[in-house]
Amino acid sequence: QNRKKWQRTSTQSASPLFVLLVASTEILKSEAQTFCFECGPVPFLGTNADCFNCCKTKYGSPPVVSGVVVGSEKHCHCYC
């Protein structure tokens, strides 16, 4: 019975730590990539990979770390 009680306690104490880890990782990820440029025509008819290539070609990498096609008008956004 003591073993089951310990297992419940250790699981309960790990949950807040896990939540903190996930939350801090998402915060770092969002801060690391901020919108910096647009690239290509509107609408941008390529994929996210095409968008990233457009961004790297036009602005260089670094500063560009990713490119994403966003919005209903299909803009290619470059993130730094």
Distance of alpha carbon 80 from alpha carbon 70, whole angstroms: 16
Give the model's pLDDT for residue 33.
84
- 24 or 53: which leads in pLDDT: 53
pLDDT confidence bin for 14, thresholds 50/70/90:
low
Domain limits of the chain?
A: 1-32, 33-80
pLDDT value at residue 26:
47
For residues 1-36, b (16+ Cβ closer than 10 Å) or e, as one string?
Answer: eeeeeeeeeeeeeeeeeeeeeeeeeeeeeeeeeeee
pLDDT of residue 27: 46
At residue 2, the pLDDT reads: 55
